[in-house]
Amino acid sequence: MGAGMIPFAVQRFFYYAFKKGTARMFGCIFCQVAAGEKPAARVYEDDLCVAFDDIHPRAPVHVLVVPRRHVASLNQGAEDEALLGRLLRAAAEVAKKKGIDGSGYRVVVNTNGEGGQTVFHLHLHVMGGRFMKWPPG
């Protein structure tokens, strides 16, 4: 049986499953941003991560730092110390680029339901440009 016998939708399913991974297949927003398939105002990028402005900023500076590979949350990413180190380093780089390294900023990783996570692709919020209250809500 040739490839022509297999319906296009089925071919597409397997193409995404094997070539791009299930997260991309089911439309993970941050995988799409990292791959350049969805537009975003990029602030910083390297071989492991990408940083871009949050689409709904909660502070004058609000940037998200995400790994290029799909990691659902900090729970799944915790063992990859090289990646976590790079994400924090990128956050500091973002703060410097945005000019808030001296005035101060906050780095937040919301995790799962009670942590307030809404997008299930690990991301660091880098927030600043105003006084950050403590404790957060």
Which residues of the chain form contacts with ligand AMP (CB under 6 A)?
A: 29, 33, 38, 40, 54-56, 64, 110, 116-119
Identity of the residue numbered 59: A
Q: In terms of CB distance, is 1 or 40 closer to ligand AMP? A: 40
Rounded Cα gap, residues 37 and 4, in angstroms? 28
CB of 26 to Zn ion, least distance (A): 9
Of these residues, 70, 121, 123, 125, which one is catalytic?
123
Identify whether 123 is a catalytic site residue: yes
CB of 115 to ligand AMP, least distance (A): 8
Rounded Cα gap, residues 48 and 45, in angstroms? 8
Pick from 44, 59, 70, 84: which binds Zn ion (CB under 5 A)? Answer: 70
CA 1 to chain centre: 41
Site string for Zn ion, 17-56 (x = CB under 5 A): ------x----x-xx-------------------------
CB of 120 to ligand AMP, least distance (A): 7
Tokens of 32: 């799409």
Tokens of 105: 């900023």
Rounded CA Rg of the chain: 18
Is 118:99 a contact under the CB 8 Å cutoff? Answer: no
Active site residues: 123
